[in-house]
């Protein structure tokens, strides 16, 4: 309770400097990067539970063979919507929220470069998700042709009902939102950085977001173009994906994955940035190989543009295409390996402590590496014919998204919430949340490798009885994982409302001030920061590159 | 001349959420229309009106702030970053349709005319371009020739690029007369281009049998030229606003971001047309 009074007293001191507006209007019209960051993060958290609820429906139906709870079309709607909601509603916006909060703090900027557009990109996201969610209540239900929206399946009435144009326009709005957000981040990093901070002084989180923002601007219009052609093929008699008219449905797959592969790195590169920020603080060492981390990030981003057809090895490509995309894909393991070794080397002989953010980070390094290895297995084109469209791929990308992107988003929450709110979270419940999540995520996804290798196809509501045991185990893991996330929700609310009541220092974590500018600001961070850019910037994180 | 030394950070923005609501209403209306709902078009027009009101309101606000010297040099740099990356995203958008054209002509149409596809599905289909595919989707049509209106349009757009640069020289030399005349010429050429394109489309639909439904040739032709034509309209409207602001005495040699942004956009539209002329009409 005393912490709350402290916070109010603190705010009262700052009122001469444009405090926040009162009431609901503050959140609708805000241009403050911290407010917008909060909006993004809370919206993403909400969507995480919406998408999670859909996953629970999927796991409940798959608990036993046979059709128990939902009809097959609705089941397919759930797999489609779960993916779209998690990718475009939860993971991407959560990272944009972190970018909004952290980038100005980390580079000594007063705010984002284009604050009004920043507001608009958030509301465009909400508009896009509303259009998408509205399809759940339509005649014919939500889209159920898979999140990739492949033609000709997705153009057939049985698959879309009335949902298709809403889903397509939702993609347009989400694309506009992402592009505006990305432009803002690039302009902020290039133009708003404290003069004392050179490009190679920037924290890795800022670097990874700079590169991610470039990826976003380069590929979101590609997705927009692809779905626009779906729209005209469906409603305006064009033949882009119709062989009788000289078109080719495989073209859609090429265009989609030219967007789709960079898109998966859009979700993982900021994850790397968060890991590279957290691990050095708890290892009490500078990040190992700062410059190589920057170059590895750039290399991964570059490679993401030239490997897309490994998502479609079985489509009937010429042999030369299979071979090229196989070898190009394998090369990605090199810069990714550089990163994994750098994180490991950062921890080597470090004076490590294991607070919740660090636990999540270590789990990330281990489990993401496993997800990476299954990726390598599937990059081998002849083997991929066995894995394609089975639960093996489901296990693979969930390992790279859940214990990687989602875990590092959780870690970022534990790491920065004390800084943002001025309150410490409950470490005991945090660690409980970690162990429950880390164990159950493996119960959930590890058996799916076996299911996939044994030939269980993805996107089906029913399956042959030989898959029953592992599916039941996977579902039990899923239910534990889903329930455990309620602990995170509790911790976030509790921390905002005062947490343990312990007043956190400006550094929050021991010696964090050496690692980043944000820790030199007061806790909680005032509504306006860096109206004058800092003259000295910490270089601990880049020590070995100088 | 900017009088403000600090980076201007606005504190309350109402236009973004209004614009978002407008755009969402417009798209929801359009989607309803496509699903056969009779109120779709009305919802769409309401959304469009809200969106246009937002554009007018927001840009008026920005222009007034700029003219009252609230933006320093750094704010101008942020705006330039914004415009530059926006144009980059537009280039990527057009690249998708150019890529589609390339893939269709060099890969998918030839594949239809060879091997098992030909033997088993369409034995009589021979690979050609232009084509409406083995199913002759949309019926017989006559392809669009490069010489005639398209070539004339190329000359018109290239000239408009010159007049735009001439206007910029006028602005830099504080010659307002040259600025306004150059801009008016650019806008006029832009609308002339769109008019000729409308005539071209009219001919295609009424005399040549060439429609959006004419197989993959019609699809790529109208998608590429149609999106381009839409961008010419947008560019011409932006330039018209710049003409209006110039006539009110806005812009100075050292501070005229809106002019620059409009000119960049116009040159971008120009370059896309050159690509279209070569790859859609000529080759």
> What's the rounded Cα separation, in Å, for the pair B54 and A460?
46
Averaged pLDDT, B13-24: 97
Cβ contact, residue pair B219, A217, below 8 Å: no
Q: B46, B71, B96 — which closes off a domain?
A: B71
Residue A168 maps to a domain: yes
The predicted pLDDT at position A161 comes to 75
Mark yes or no for CB contact B28/A229 under 8 Å: no
Kindly report the length of chain A.
546
A279 part of a folded domain: yes
User: Residue A217: which of B74, B88, B109 has the nearest Cβ?
Assistant: B88
Quick: pLDDT tens for A68-123: 999 999 999 999 999 999 999 999 999 999 999 999 999 999 999 999 999 999 99
CATH number of the domain within which B40 lies: 1.10.287.70
What residues form DSSP beta bridges with A457? Answer: A390
Which pLDDT band, with edges at 50, 70 and 90, does A3 fall under?
very low
Q: How many domains does chain B have?
A: 2
| Res A6: pLDDT | 37
The rounded percent of chain B whose pLDDT value lies above 70 is 98
Indicate whether B61 and B89 sit together in one domain. no
Determine the angle formed by the axes of helices A249-283 and A407-421, rounding to 10 degrees: 50
Residue B252's domain is classified under what CATH number? Answer: 1.20.120.80
Could you tell me if B53 and B22 are in contact, meaning their C-beta atoms sit under 8 angstroms apart?
yes
pLDDT tens per residue across span A24-83 = 889 999 999 999 999 999 999 999 999 999 999 999 999 999 999 999 999 999 999 999
CB contacts of B20 in chain A (<8 Å) are 120, 123-124, 126-127
- The pLDDT of B80-108, averaged and rounded, is 97
Determine, for residues B20 and A217 on separate chains, whether the beta-carbon distance falls below 8 Å: no
* Closest to A378 measured CA to CA, from A447, A307, A482, A287: A307
Of A29, A240, A531, the CB nearest to B14: A29
- Judge whether A238 lies within some domain: yes
The answer to whether B212 contacts A123, with C-beta atoms less than 8 Å apart, is no
Domain count within chain A = 1
Residue A2 pLDDT = 34
B114 and A CB contact within 8 Å: no
Residues B83, B117, single domain; the answer is: yes
CATH code for the domain in which residue A481 is found? 1.20.210.10
Same-domain status, B89 and B220:
yes
Q: Is A310 a known active-site residue?
A: yes
In this prediction, residue A159 carries a pLDDT of: 66
Distances (CA, A) of A186 to A114, A221, A409, B82: 10, 17, 21, 9
Q: Which residues of B touch A124 (CB under 8 A)?
A: 20, 23
**Domain enclosing residue A219, as ranges:** 26-545
pLDDT by residue (tens digit) across A252-269?
999 999 999 999 999 999
Who among A21, A134, A165 is closest to B34 (CB)? A165
Clarify whether A336 is annotated catalytic. yes
Shared domain check, B163 and B102: yes
Q: Is A433 a catalytic residue?
A: no
End residue of a domain, out of B52, B71, B90: B71
Burial of residue A266 (number of CB atoms within 10 Å: 0-12, 13-18, 19+): buried
Which residues of B fall within a CB distance of 8 Å from A232?
Answer: 212, 219, 223
Mutate to test the interface with A, among B6, B34, B205 (most CBs of A within 10 A): B34
- 3 state SS for B144-212: CCCCCHHHHHHHHHHHHHHHHHHHHHHHHCCCHHHHHHHHHHHHHHHHHHHHHHHHHHHHHHHHHCCCC
Please list every residue in chain B whose beta carbon sits closer than 8 Å to the beta carbon of residue A243: 108, 112, 133-135
Distance from the Cα of B189 to chain A's closest Cα (Å) equals 28
Are residues B274 and B231 part of one domain?
Answer: yes
**Cα within 13 Å of Cα(A88), Cβ side:** 32
Nearest to B235 by CA among B271, B279, B278: B271
| Contact by Cβ (8 Å): A469, A425 | no
Interface of B with A in 171-230 (CB under 8 A): 211-213, 215-220, 222-223
B36, B71, B106 — which closes off a domain?
B71
Nearest by CB to residue A165, choosing from B35, B134, B222, is: B35
For residue A13, tell me if it sits in a domain.
no
Tell if the CB–CB gap between A29 and B86 is shorter than 8 Å: no
Question: What residues make up the domain containing B129?
Answer: 78-282
Same domain, yes or no, for B25 and B113? no
Within-domain flag for A233: yes
- Does A21 map to a domain? no
Rounded Cα–Cα distance for residues A534 and A362 (Å):
32
Structure-block tokens of residue A67:
């059709």
Residues B48 and B130 in one domain: no
Residue A72 located in a structural domain: yes
H or E element at residue A221: helix A204-235
The pLDDT tens digits for B209-247 are 999 999 999 999 999 999 999 999 999 999 999 999 999
Query: Are B83 and B66 found together in one domain?
Result: no
The pLDDT assigned to A541 comes to: 59
Residue A1 is predicted with a pLDDT of 31
Residue B52 and residue B86 share a domain: no
């Amino acid at each position: 309770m005393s912490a709350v009074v402290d916070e109010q007293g603190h705010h009262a001191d700052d009122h001469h400097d444009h405090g926040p507006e009162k009431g609901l209007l503050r959140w609708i019209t805000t241009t403050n990067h911290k407010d917008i960051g909060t909006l993004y993060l809370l919206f993403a958290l909400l969507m995480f539970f919406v998408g999670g609820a859909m996953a629970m429906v999927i796991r409940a139906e798959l608990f036993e063979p046979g059709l128990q709870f939902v009809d097959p079309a609705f089941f397919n709607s759930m797999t489609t919507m779960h993916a779209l909601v998690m990718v475009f509603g939860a993971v991407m916006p959560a990272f944009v929220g972190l970018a909004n909060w952290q980038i100005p703090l980390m580079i000594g900027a007063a705010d984002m470069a284009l604050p009004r557009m920043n507001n608009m990109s958030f509301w465009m996201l909400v508009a896009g998700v509303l259009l998408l969610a509205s399809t759940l209540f339509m005649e014919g239900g939500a889209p159920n042709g898979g999140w990739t929206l492949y033609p000709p399946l997705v153009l057939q009435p049985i698959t879309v009902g009335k949902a298709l144009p809403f889903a397509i326009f939702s993609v347009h709005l989400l694309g506009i939102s992402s592009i505006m957000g990305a432009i803002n981040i690039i302009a902020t990093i290039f133009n708003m950085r404290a003069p004392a901070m050179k490009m190679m002084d920037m924290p890795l989180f800022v670097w990874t977001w700079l590169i991610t923002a470039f990826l976003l601007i380069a590929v979101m219009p590609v997705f927009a173009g692809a779905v626009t052609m779906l729209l005209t093929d469906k409603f305006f008699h064009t033949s882009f994906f119709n062989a009788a008219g000289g078109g080719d449905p495989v073209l859609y797959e090429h265009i989609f994955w030219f967007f789709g592969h960079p898109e998966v790195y859009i979700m993982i590169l900021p994850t790397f940035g968060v890991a590279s920020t957290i691990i050095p603080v708890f290892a009490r060492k500078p990040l190992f190989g700062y410059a190589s981390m920057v170059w590895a990030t750039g290399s991964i981003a570059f490679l993401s543009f030239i490997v897309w057809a490994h998502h479609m090895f079985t489509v009937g490509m010429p042999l030369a295409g299979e071979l090229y995309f196989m070898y190009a894909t394998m090369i990605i393991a090199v810069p990714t390996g550089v990163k994994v070794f750098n994180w490991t080397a950062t921890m080597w002989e470090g004076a490590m402590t294991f607070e919740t953010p660090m636990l999540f980070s270590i789990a990330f390094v281990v489990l993401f590496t496993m997800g990476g290895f299954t990726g390598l297995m599937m990059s081998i084109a002849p083997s991929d014919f066995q894995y394609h469209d089975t639960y093996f791929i489901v296990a693979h990308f969930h390992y790279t998204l859940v214990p990687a992107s989602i875990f590092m988003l959780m870690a970022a929450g534990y790491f920065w919430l004390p800084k943002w709110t001025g309150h410490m979270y409950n470490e005991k419940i945090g660690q409980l949340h970690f162990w429950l999540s880390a164990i159950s995520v493996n119960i959930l996804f590890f058996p799916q490798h076996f299911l996939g290798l044994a030939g269980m196809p993805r996107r089906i509501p029913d399956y042959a009885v030989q898959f029953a045991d592992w599916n039941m185990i996977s579902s039990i893991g899923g239910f534990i994982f889903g329930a455990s996330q309620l602990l995170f929700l509790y911790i976030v609310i509790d921390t905002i409302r005062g947490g343990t009541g312990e007043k956190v220092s400006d550094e929050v974590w021991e010696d964090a001030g050496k690692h980043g500018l944000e820790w030199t600001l007061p806790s909680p961070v005032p509504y306006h920061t860096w109206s004058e850019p800092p003259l000295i910037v910490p270089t601990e994180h880049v020590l070995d590159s100088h | 001349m900017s009088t403000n030394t600090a980076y201007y950070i606005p504190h309350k923005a109402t236009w973004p959420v209004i614009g978002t609501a407008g755009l969402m209403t417009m798209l929801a209306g359009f989607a309803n229309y496509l699903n056969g709902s009779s109120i779709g078009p009305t919802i769409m027009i309401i959304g469009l009106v809200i969106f246009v009101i937002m554009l007018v309101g927001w840009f008026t606000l920005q222009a007034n702030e700029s003219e009252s010297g609230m933006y320093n040099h750094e704010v101008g740099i942020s705006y330039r970053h914004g415009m530059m990356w926006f144009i980059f995203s537009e280039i990527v958008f057009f690249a998708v349709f150019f890529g589609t054209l390339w893939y269709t002509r060099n890969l998918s149409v030839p594949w239809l005319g060879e091997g098992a596809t030909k033997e088993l599905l369409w034995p009589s289909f021979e690979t050609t371009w232009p084509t409406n595919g083995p199913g002759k989707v949309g019926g017989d049509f006559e392809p669009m020739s490069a010489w005639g209106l398209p070539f004339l349009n190329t000359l018109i757009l290239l000239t408009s690029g010159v007049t735009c640069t001439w206007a910029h020289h006028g602005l830099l030399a504080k010659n307002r007369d040259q600025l306004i005349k150059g801009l008016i010429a650019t806008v006029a050429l832009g609308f002339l281009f769109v008019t000729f394109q409308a005539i071209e489309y009219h001919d295609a639909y009424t005399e040549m049998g060439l429609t959006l439904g004419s197989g993959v040739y019609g699809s790529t032709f109208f998608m590429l030229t149609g999106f381009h034509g839409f961008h010419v309209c947008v560019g011409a409207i932006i330039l018209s606003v710049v003409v209006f602001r110039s006539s009110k005495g806005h812009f100075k040699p050292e501070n005229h971001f809106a002019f620059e942004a409009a000119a960049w956009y116009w040159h971008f539209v120009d370059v896309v047309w050159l690509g279209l002329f070569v790859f859609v009409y000529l080759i």
